[in-house]
Amino acid sequence: MAEFTMELNDEQKEVRDWLHGFAADVIRPAAAEWDEREETPWPIIQEAAKVGIYSLDFYAQQYFDATGLGIPMAMEELFWGDAGIALSIVGTGLAAVGVLANGTEEQIGTWIPQMYGDTNDVKVAAFCSSEPDAGSDVASMRTRAVYDEAKDEWVINGTKTWATNGGIANVHVVVAVVDPELGSKGHASFIVPPNTPGLGQGQKFKKHGIRASHTAEVILDNVRVPGSCLLGGKEKLDQRLARAREKAKKGGERVKNAAMATFEASRPAVAAMAVGTARAAYEVALDYARTREQFGRPIIDNQGVAFQLADMRTSIDAARLLTWRASWMAINGKPFTAAEGSMSKLFASETAKKVTAQAIQILGGNGYTREYPVERMHRDAAIYTIFEGTSEIQRLVISRTLSGMPIR
């Protein structure tokens, strides 16, 4: 087990500087354009693929970093560049992780390369879990998958929403109910291959922020996939369902809490995204305050501005500390006895909203225009308190973990 440290090693620093250079030289100059276009920035994704950032190998190296700091460091730098473009670059990783976590070796080798494509023909993937009536309440999921034993096929029907890359993805990973009586333990994940009949894009959302990231509904109308597309395979699913039924008889709350623990482990990555956006806005505000003069002196000389900057920096550093702690705990198998994953996501996301708003205030009228990036950063920051569990859900998880109450 790696010791917890706030000091990056030489290799991590090299990766950080490399990512920062890409964010500064490639992502930032294109951010305003793709935000206005509200389209997937394919040329930027291709550039990321050419240098090795948009690849499974890169994310696997960061994910398996024994210190736990690889992923939060990478997310912070990319989202420092721009949240919308960065999400387009990392969004495929959600689907890839779903296959890595649940798939067989054959499934991993078959489908993950198809998610990324190659440098000449980049592809994206989509992870489809949320539904119109089942966001935070995953037990209310309605998308059903029914096994057709005669044909060894699964038939999937339902509607997914808020799917990053939904409908435009080469490969979709879809979570569906296979046993309604087991709640979230009765779910399974399926690969939907390219050009599968019955899968289509529904509404594409025109969003307040992260507009360079494609977000849409995914419609599944009698979608048939081979039995080999069930992640993990039928035998493993049957065994898992049997164990879940037995546990449900003995104590259903233990089943629910185990499911919530899975979500806890993924939240520090979102927290790191928020830290990156907050840091970017802070740096713009700091530079502006140093150079903008009013009444014959830089506005940073005014206590009202200087104190805001002090609070901004303090909150950002605190958010990073919580995020790195949770990431280290997750990679080293430390239990989140106080919902530390939710703590990091809650504090970092609220910090991003507050810091970007303060940056606009420091820039005054300029901050409210699209001539300066803090207006876009503020719009982008709003998503962090919503996706991967709202701030209210994080507080619910934290409070119930502390009190010992069941997390439903």
Question: What value, to the nearest 5°, has the Cα angle with vertex 153 and ends 150 and 156?
Answer: 130
DSSP 8-state symbol, 210: -
Residues 6+ apart with CB under 8 A from 185: 179, 240, 241, 244, 247, 248, 255, 259
Asked whether the beta carbons of 62 and 74 are under 8 A apart, the reply is: yes
Any idea which residues carry the catalytic annotation?
388
Q: Which residues share a beta bridge with 175?
A: 189
Residues 6+ apart with CB under 8 A from 315: 278, 351, 354, 355
The structure tokens 């490969």 sit at 171
Count of residues making up the chain: 408
E strands in 149-259? 153-164, 171-177, 187-192, 199-204, 215-226
* Cα(80)–Cα(229) distance, integer angstroms: 36
The structure tokens 């719009």 sit at 379
* Cα(105)–Cα(220) distance, integer angstroms: 27
E strands in 240-368? 293-294, 297-298
Say what the alpha-carbon torsion angle 355, 31, 112, 11 is, to the nearest 10 degrees.
Answer: -60
Measured between alpha carbons, how far is residue 405 from residues 139, 257, 408 in Å? 18, 10, 9
* Cα(273)–Cα(57) distance, integer angstroms: 20
Measured between alpha carbons, how far is residue 61 from residues 12, 208, 265, 389 in Å? 11, 33, 18, 26
Asked whether the beta carbons of 341 and 326 are under 8 A apart, the reply is: yes
* Cα(4)–Cα(16) distance, integer angstroms: 18
Look at strands 153-164 and 144-148 and give their pairing: antiparallel
